[in-house]
Amino acid sequence: MQSDELDPVDDDALGMLIADRYLVTKLSAQTEWQKTFLAADQLGTGQHCIIQEFDLQQKTEAEALVKEFSPQLERLMALGNLQIQHLIDFFADNNRVYLVQEYVQGKTYQKLLQTRASLSEPEIVQWLEQILPILSQLHSHNISHGHLSPNAFVLRQSDQSPVLVSFGVIQDLQTQVSPTGFQPSLLEQVRYLPMDSIPDGIAADLFTLGITALILLTGQQPQSLFDPQTKTWNWERWKRVSDGLAEVLNRLVALRTADRFSSAQEVLAALNTPSLPPTQASPIPSIPPQYAPAPPPTIASPPQTLAVSPPPLPYPQTQHQVYTSPQPLKVQPSGLQDWQKAILIGIGVGTAILCGFLLLRSSWAPVSQSSPSPQAAKPSPNTSDIPPTSVTTPVPSPIQSISEQEASNLVNRWLQAKRVIFAPPYNRQPIYDLTTGELLADLTKSDGPIAWLENNNAYYRFGVQRIDAVEQFAADGNSATIAVRVTEERTLLINGRVDRNESDFATRSVRYSLRLADGQWKIADYRVVR
């Protein structure tokens, strides 16, 4: 069930509270085995979500199904990208299994093809540029979508950006509960093709991404795009595009494994070639790729420094994303800037030329006509008459102070990184990349909050996360302070159960202390102001 298919159905479930948290506001679909609800999450601001309820025969069956799919679903929940439909929760209750996902209001790309014949070349290029960073983030976590097709993308109504939905693991769970009534995957539809081998995992995602692009570009199904007689793709008879895009698409759907791309990043690099037309304004506008990490920490309300006693972690957070080791802010090191170096080099070269010219002139000067004898005109080997030249000693330039935007970006990267720091695999590397001083020491000590989470089978999961505003900023030399208003939905899970005392949805003001360390700006400490 897609988020654009929520036609109400009358049912007694309306007004029901599921798991003491989700208030049912609409029943959108019902079968013998499954119901799909629109519900309001009562933990915080009441944001809407999609709940799928699967009816099994026995409680033990429901528990076994949750246990079977838990590893894959947990990894999916750890993702936090604004362009990935967020899996909020999954659990068993008696003989029922529940999947709770973010409500993405919009239309699938399959539905879009019902109102327009196809997408233009600039729209396809733009769509690929938006989707490929998302796939790259997934694949970097060894997660494949497994079910790419025009139905796996929703054009979100709020910002007209594509959102990835309908993950394969969820499709597999649905099929296991009710093996009838589900459409075969795009890959299953083209298994007749004479490929070297049927791709799977990351390779399958790239292959089906290419087929999806061809469907959107031509408005035709794969059976019409492939010539069984010549055993080749013949999609260009439906739509002509630039040579650059044609090459990218043909490599995506190549029948020989050796001819295909090996990664989403490789595809993205191939797209960024002069031969491709520039993307233009279209119904599918681009937005900057978001980082999608794994679940992180929490926020306390009274003013306090970083919590050192686990489990509560009073840290705010921003965008729904995954940490991918972002590039550190480039701060001009102490010493000469490039323009200064250029001036000094120019002075040195100019001085050398001047000296050489004076020497040559003195050695090659013609005999003066007023000289009584040739001997008098000979130059003296003594060069003391050449005025000495001086080279200015470089003066180190002052440290380039961090700007408000750079400070905000640093905080944003930290908020993103918490998803992989405070959830499996509890990645410590972002701590060293982004923190220093007291914060670094607290996070890396053996009895700190991360160690507590690991030892107690606990982690943090995040929903809505954003920086609402910069309230205050000041920079002085190698230190700076920025206060931001942060909205965050956090959930602490211990042994798979929600700790409601450490879970909330709130907006807080947080003051961050920044410091220049090892040539990079990092977070030294922060506290909740209110």
Average pLDDT over residues 506-530: 90
Residue with the two structure tokens 């601001």: 45
Query: CA separation (Å) from 264 to 145, 267, 269?
Result: 13, 5, 9
Q: Does residue 291 carry a pLDDT above 70?
A: no
Among 26, 65, 95, which Cα is nearest to 170's? Answer: 65
Cα separation, 147 vs 174, in Å, equals 13
Question: How confident is residue 366, by pLDDT bands cut at 50, 70 and 90?
Answer: very low
pLDDT score, position 7: 47
Question: How confident is residue 180, by pLDDT bands cut at 50, 70 and 90?
Answer: low
Question: How confident is residue 316, by pLDDT bands cut at 50, 70 and 90?
Answer: very low
Name the residue with higher pLDDT: 309 or 439. Answer: 439
Question: How confident is residue 480, by pLDDT bands cut at 50, 70 and 90?
Answer: very high
pLDDT score, position 181: 52
**Highest mean pLDDT (candidates 70-84, 257-271, 301-315, 455-469):** 257-271
pLDDT score, position 464: 65
Provide the total of helices (H) and of strands (E) in the chain, helices listed first.
Answer: 14, 15
Question: How confident is residue 387, by pLDDT bands cut at 50, 70 and 90?
Answer: very low
Taking the C-alpha atoms of 139, 140, 141 and 146 in order, what is their torsion angle to the nearest 10 degrees? 0
Average pLDDT over residues 257-268: 94
Name the residue with higher pLDDT: 46 or 189. Answer: 189
Q: Does residue 242 carry a pLDDT above 50?
A: yes
Cα separation, 3 vs 51, in Å, equals 11
| Mean of pLDDT over the chain | 76
Name the residue with higher pLDDT: 402 or 7. Answer: 402
pLDDT score, position 34: 82
- What is the percent of the chain with per-residue pLDDT over 90, rounded to a whole number? 31
pLDDT score, position 127: 95
Question: What would the pLDDT profile of 120-150 be if each residue is shown by its tens digit?
Answer: 999 999 999 999 999 998 999 889 999 999 9
Sequence-ordered list of residues with C-beta below 8 angstroms from that of 386, at least 6 positions apart, any chain = 355, 358, 359, 362
CA contacts within 13 A on the Cβ side of 376: 6
Two structure tokens written together for 6: 């929520």
Average pLDDT over residues 244-272: 94
Among 111, 185, 120, which Cα is nearest to 153's? Answer: 111
Q: Does residue 335 carry a pLDDT above 90?
A: no
Q: Report the residue count for the chain.
A: 530
Domains recognised in the chain with CATH numbers = 17-102 (3.30.200.20), 107-172+183-271 (1.10.510.10), 291-354+400-530 (no CATH)
Question: How confident is residue 399, by pLDDT bands cut at 50, 70 and 90?
Answer: low
Cα separation, 210 vs 247, in Å, equals 11
Q: Does residue 389 carry a pLDDT above 50?
A: no
Name the residue with higher pLDDT: 348 or 113. Answer: 113
| Lowest mean pLDDT across 3-12, 194-203, 221-230 | 3-12
**Highest mean pLDDT (candidates 227-231, 277-281, 353-357):** 227-231
Type of residue at 377: A
Among 420, 442, 435, which Cα is nearest to 306's? Answer: 442
Question: How confident is residue 370, by pLDDT bands cut at 50, 70 and 90?
Answer: very low
Q: Does residue 489 carry a pLDDT above 70?
A: yes
pLDDT score, position 274: 54
Q: Does residue 45 carry a pLDDT above 80?
A: no
Two structure tokens written together for 299: 């926020």
Q: Does residue 288 carry a pLDDT above 70?
A: no
Q: Does residue 382 carry a pLDDT above 50?
A: no
**Highest mean pLDDT (candidates 174-183, 191-200, 401-410):** 401-410
Contact 57, 72 (CB under 8 A): no
Q: Does residue 529 carry a pLDDT above 70?
A: yes
Question: How confident is residue 4, by pLDDT bands cut at 50, 70 and 90?
Answer: very low
Q: Does residue 212 carry a pLDDT above 90?
A: yes
Question: What would the pLDDT profile of 409-441 be if each residue is shown by its tens digit?
Answer: 899 888 878 877 888 778 888 899 899 999 999
Question: What would the pLDDT profile of 503-517 be if each residue is shown by its tens digit?
Answer: 887 889 999 999 998
Two structure tokens written together for 489: 């939905």
pLDDT score, position 491: 83
